[in-house]
Structure 1
Amino acid sequence: MEPVLTFTDKGIYCAAGDFYIDPWKPVPRAVITHAHSDHARPGNQHYLCTKDSVPVLQLRLGQDISVQGLAYGEQIYINGATVSFHPAGHMIGSAQVKVTVNGQTWVASGDYKTENDGISGAFEPVKCHVFITESTFGLPIYHWKPQSAMLGDIRSWIHENQQAGKNSVLVAYSLGKAQRLLYNLQHAVPKFLVHGAIFNAHEMLRSQGWPLPPVELITPQTPKEDFKNSLIIAPPSATGSSWMRRFLPYALGICSGWMQVRGNARRQNADAGFAISDHADWPGLLQTIKATGAEKVFATHGFSSVLARYLQENGLEAEEVKTAFGAEEDDTPVIAE
């Protein structure tokens, strides 16, 4: 039997449907798992994604793109393939792609996390014959604390900074992570001040009806007094820039799964590191793979060789696959000095 999906130099390809999933080179028809830049690239003739991803994709790639949105679970028939999207829990609108051809079902996960963060939607494992999984944090050392505990750590850190007369600056990826923090910390501080990259995405999502708190855009005219008793959220690209100097004196906290490793916060000259990630940890990866009931697993972007070898040693057919995913800022490992 021919495989439902194959791995090509343009991306994950479905020959029966003649489409690509998250292609990294321009193609006529692209099926998109989510709107992060490493999975949704410009130049494709037509995009298919979830309904919630449509405005995010248009924000990133332009209003004039040809795009169609589907509800979760809604089926579409593309030539000889049946395609549907299922919640991935990674960010607003993110999905796994289920593709069935001649009774054989493959699922491409894109990026996913298994803990419901309250705003991104609850992850749903999908039964399949073959599962293509990310492995961003595919090492046993990565085991996330419950979100409630991590948010408690962040609230305590903000309080400590206030007591010390310091402004609190959290670094988080502008699309996904920032909204997760804003949604879950909206009762912890009286005001949020944000970088322009976060403001644009946030305002677009609020305009779509997402229950996110109001934020204020930081400009050269923002009074220094406004920084006190507020939470400032900035993208990773802002760290170490002149833009940050306006917040002095401040404490810097980095929100990333890479903060699980001791020393990574120090290497980035941060005062605190919070291991809060929008990707599955090691237990989450293993639990998901088991829940799919897949007979074979392909491990992509991340510690794919480690995960594939572990699965093989535990009796499951598994392979490592090289892809061009993993270039979003939260996916970039901190390199030790």
Structure 2
Amino acid sequence: MTELVVSRPEGLYCPAGDFYIDPHKRVTRAVVTHAHGDHVKNGCARYWTATPGYRLLKERLGAGMQVRPYDYGQVFELGDARVSLHSAGHILGSAQVRIEVGGEVWVVSGDYKRDADPSCAPFDVQRCNVFVTEATFASPQYVWPPDGSASAQIAEWWMANRAAGHASVLFTYALGKTQRVLAELMRHVGVDETVYLHQTMTKLVGLYRREGIAMLPTRGVNECGGGYDFRGSLILVPPQAFGTPWLRRLAPYRTGFASGWMGADNGRAAKYDRGFTLSDHADWPSLLRTIEQTGARRVLAMHGDSRVLIDTLRARGLQADAIDTPH
């Protein structure tokens, strides 16, 4: 069988198309699944990405980079490969990369999730011969709560803190998780409730709004004068700001963290007042369901510890192995 995707030091490489997917080093041709920093290498000669994530990728790369956007499902040719991008449901503009050469079809998933998310398009199952899947949460202990329940819990926590005279400082990743929280909270609180943002999030939220994503009103913390009273407010802050002096201006406050890592007893939640299980990756049941739906008889797993997943798939009669990536 011809290998349509192989692992190289630069990243996943398609020999037939002479391009890389989410390369780790500078290359001539880079197909980018989404705009998270660990999937984007600055300085490549040319980039291809999905149209909904085009502005996010341009923001990540800066001016002067050659980025070609393609609509979901639009076919383009790179070398001898027919390539198309299909929604991965991870964040705005996230994509799976479908590669077809001589009737053989491989799909590289990128990061993906199957839960409903009003801030991005849902996962689009692609039938294929070989499926390259992420394995970030590839363990039976990771099972996410029903859609919307985490955001409902966040809203309840916020209002309880308000009643107690505290601000609610919720740590969320700046790209993807922040916007999802802002969009999902519209179902649980008044649509005129203003949420405050750390300065690293304001431009990214604005780019989502330009793509038509409905979210609660926001205001930057840095737009508020000294001595501003944040009691009763929800403030979204990136995890790297935890424990920094910047937080002092928000006191008195309670802390929370929204992440899939809150979904297991791994000690990560201990430093927060509250943990909310909300992930932008597939949980264990979703990984297995997705692989089955693709119809792939061969699965290559990337990102994370894939040993349990590989053993499970082999027991089900599939060919399964890990594929090295730099991420």
TM band (smaller chain): over 0.9
Q: Which amino acid aligns with 1:216?
A: R
Q: CA deviation at 1:230?
A: 2.1
Q: 1:308 maps to what in 2?
A: 310
Matched, 1:32 2:32: yes
Deviations 1:35-55 (A, max 9, x none): 001111212110000011111
Q: 2:233 maps to what in 1?
A: 230
User: Where in structure 2 are there 5+ consecutive unaligned residues?
Assistant: none
Q: Which amino acid aligns with 2:307?
A: S
Please say if residues 265 and 272 of structure 1, whose CA atoms lie closer than 8 Å, have aligned partners that are also in contact: no
Matched, 1:204 2:210: no
Distance between the aligned counterparts of 1:234 and 1:179, measured in 2? 12
Matched, 1:150 2:150: yes
Matched, 1:107 2:136: no
Deviations 1:294-329 (A, max 9, x none): 01000101121221122112211100122122xxxx
Q: 1:277 maps to what in 2?
A: 279
Please say if residues 90 and 112 of structure 1, whose CA atoms lie closer than 8 Å, have aligned partners that are also in contact: yes
Indicate how the Cα distance of structure 1 residues 56 and 107 shifts in structure 2: closer, same or farther if over 3 A, else same.
same
Q: CA deviation at 1:226?
A: 4.5
TM-score, normalised relative to structure 1: 0.93
Please say if residues 254 and 274 of structure 1, whose CA atoms lie closer than 8 Å, have aligned partners that are also in contact: yes
Matched, 1:295 2:315: no
Q: Which amino acid aligns with 1:229?
A: G
Q: CA deviation at 1:131?
A: 0.3
Please say if residues 254 and 265 of structure 1, whose CA atoms lie closer than 8 Å, have aligned partners that are also in contact: no
Matched, 1:264 2:273: no
1:2-41 matches, cutoff 5 A: 2-41=2-41
Q: CA deviation at 1:248?
A: 1.2
Distance between the aligned counterparts of 1:222 and 1:57, measured in 2? 32
User: Where in structure 1 are there 5+ consecutive unaligned residues?
Assistant: 326-337
Q: CA deviation at 1:256?
A: 0.6
Distance between the aligned counterparts of 1:220 and 1:104, measured in 2? 54
What's the secondary structure of 2:303's corresponding residue? strand
Q: 1:319 maps to what in 2?
A: 321
Please say if residues 38 and 324 of structure 1, whose CA atoms lie closer than 8 Å, have aligned partners that are also in contact: no
Distance between the aligned counterparts of 1:126 and 1:266, measured in 2? 36
Matched, 1:216 2:216: no
Please say if residues 162 and 233 of structure 2, whose CA atoms lie closer than 8 Å, have aligned partners that are also in contact: no
Q: Which amino acid aligns with 1:16?
A: A
Matched, 1:241 2:244: yes
What's the secondary structure of 1:197's corresponding residue? coil
Please say if residues 296 and 316 of structure 1, whose CA atoms lie closer than 8 Å, have aligned partners that are also in contact: yes
Please say if residues 258 and 264 of structure 1, whose CA atoms lie closer than 8 Å, have aligned partners that are also in contact: no
Please say if residues 159 and 232 of structure 2, whose CA atoms lie closer than 8 Å, have aligned partners that are also in contact: no
Please say if residues 224 and 247 of structure 1, whose CA atoms lie closer than 8 Å, have aligned partners that are also in contact: no
Q: CA deviation at 1:221?
A: 4.3
Q: Which amino acid aligns with 1:322?
A: D
TM-score, normalised relative to structure 2: 0.95
Q: CA deviation at 1:223?
A: 5.3
Please say if residues 150 and 278 of structure 2, whose CA atoms lie closer than 8 Å, have aligned partners that are also in contact: yes
Q: CA deviation at 1:222?
A: 3.3
Deviations 1:214-251 (A, max 9, x none): 31111174355551332100011111111111111101
Q: CA deviation at 1:212?
A: 3.0
Deviating runs (4+, > 6 A) in structure 1?
none
RMSD: 1.5
What's the secondary structure of 1:131's corresponding residue? strand
Identity %: 42
Q: Which amino acid aligns with 2:76?
A: I
Q: CA deviation at 1:67?
A: 0.4
What's the secondary structure of 1:227's corresponding residue? coil
Q: 1:50 maps to what in 2?
A: 50
Q: Which amino acid aligns with 1:81?
A: A
Distance between the aligned counterparts of 1:128 and 1:147, measured in 2? 28
Match 1:252 to one of 230, 250, 255:
255
Please say if residues 136 and 304 of structure 2, whose CA atoms lie closer than 8 Å, have aligned partners that are also in contact: yes
Q: 1:93 maps to what in 2?
A: 93
Please say if residues 18 and 29 of structure 2, whose CA atoms lie closer than 8 Å, have aligned partners that are also in contact: yes
What's the secondary structure of 2:314's corresponding residue? helix
Indicate how the Cα distance of structure 1 residues 221 and 211 shifts in structure 2: closer, same or farther if over 3 A, else same.
closer
Distance between the aligned counterparts of 2:230 and 2:55, measured in 1? 31
Please say if residues 172 and 235 of structure 1, whose CA atoms lie closer than 8 Å, have aligned partners that are also in contact: yes
Which deviates the most, 168-177 or 257-266?
257-266
